Structure 1
């Protein structure tokens, strides 16, 4: 049986040496409007490098309009302004990335993302402003940063809404910008801050619908998005009290809602950069049994399988940047050989080299329908737990449309060590 599986894997595998070897994946993507590209860890150079290589080709050859990442809206909007050469923005995207302060900073403040964003700025420099490719954050954690950004924008552009925004911010002030403290307190205050932030968001959207905005349209969109982040983050922190499943679902629904707003606003096509646990369809894992949904599942449900391509990653061994605990100091860590019987171990035995798999839309070899352990390393990692943790049972042929397998991997190069003043979000899940 093992020999048959090895033969089937080798028959489906394609060489993966340079960006030209992505041709079969580009053919599979075709005219799809959304390409979601994962990573098996948040700290591996090769995942970021291959993801950037694919994204460059999608932008250059298929006209993709923006990149949406598993990052905060305010931080990534500063990067967006830089890569789109907006007036007053950082001339070097590295400065915008190096300014990121929310733990884990290395996810985006690293040399691989700098290299991609510098390339994107250079690419955009030769295009009209309305055709420049954007870079946006989809995540939910930036409640206080988004509120401060929103108030600043309103003071300059729509002062009639400042009082409502300040009122909403004051609702959160007693909790010292601590989401966990707010979540605990909301158990004893049934109205919480929900009414304040929902009312603010309603006011902003209503004004936008009533009149054509004459100022900076993207700046107005960013203000609305910051208000949407505040509303979603408030729900997220309250959901933490109900358990990790509820808060996970609030977060992933918010990320897809943000993507849909960006698609509507730009009228273009999107590349997503997130962890495999968000990108791969949850219904092909044990996440579904726990009541969890994720970005990949929601994309297929909302946009249809033909308009969405999900791309996963996996590696056999190497090293990674991670922390030993939530909020801990990052450091390089060894990634031991994948445990026996796992997807990565089987690919190592059958191939022994990097490979691209473009998975059949239906049918295919039997091993694609098996539930196999598939490694997932989050921002918290302890190699000694490989024997019983760090793996997600996965039906590969249902979870992704394509898969990149890498034999040996190396850690990202962060731009800076964590700073003492960095914000650490409450622990709900570690990917």
Structure 2
């Protein structure tokens, strides 16, 4: 069963906004068993939206669309769909009442311009939006089932899960199954080399890759005569993927690296302290993006200056003068100091040269020292990361999290 993703918005065609909605939808549709044949992005132009809908509806059986449902004059999805269908626009009083109550709940008065968000092509099925002011709707165009959702990611995702998936699941092919694995530690080319030959060994399986720095996602898609056969085939191929990649795989599906590290700390019953220099709080940011970080995170000290390393962590001046702030000795003292002042079970310290300036022949840009302190001692690693400042900081943060995860598993 073929499917197309249509994204509407001049901010997308101009490159002012990264289109994460399309990739998220395509992943979900693929997991449902659909064959996604096209991603189409069109600006806020009624004629071009109509033309895109007409073309996609003749090529795909299902169309999922985001954007253009707002209250401003450049939000033209509803009128474009009505034009494509040759029908009028109707106002839905229940939707209008919901929008008013939404504003009242926020302590605001609804603007008259928001009333247009309760307008729909005649005959459309309305898709409620419990967390926003833009309801979606569903219609049929040239025999294709078309669904229109807001462009706000959190609103779109909830509407897709609650109102679109139940409507398209009944027509989704029941002959495929996809598993996704998250990896960190190897470049895409090496991951591909390690998995070479799996498709030949498991007919019906396709291996896909998605690089999202600094991670690589591996997708195992299996097709068989029926769903149970596809699940069994995907699981057999996945076992081979695990055997070849081993610890490089850190999680499945929508797992995040920081989330997996947080779970490891909870499982171990450990608390964590962090002392950051060149990463500037990035490790703490990654961990606290995940809910429940307060279960284990006691301290994240950004000790950028030498004076802060001394005052907050107790790093002695002799170590700083004798070895320099970017050294194994100072990283060790930072980790030990963070664990001591916080009372945490484990502490991570990172100090390095993120560039683009500050490097030397002896200590080049990209040189980073990472230390993990536990009651059994402190482990230090020296790494030289490639790339620009953002790359060096991100790789250092991930490597630090990897060391914490290893400590949870090995001690």
- Please say whether Structure 1 and Structure 2 have the same fold, judged by a TM-score greater than 0.5: no
TM-score (norm 2): 0.28
Q: Which has the higher strand share?
A: 2
In our comparison, the structure showing a higher alpha carbon Rg is 2
Q: Which has the higher helix share?
A: 1
TM-score (norm 1): 0.27
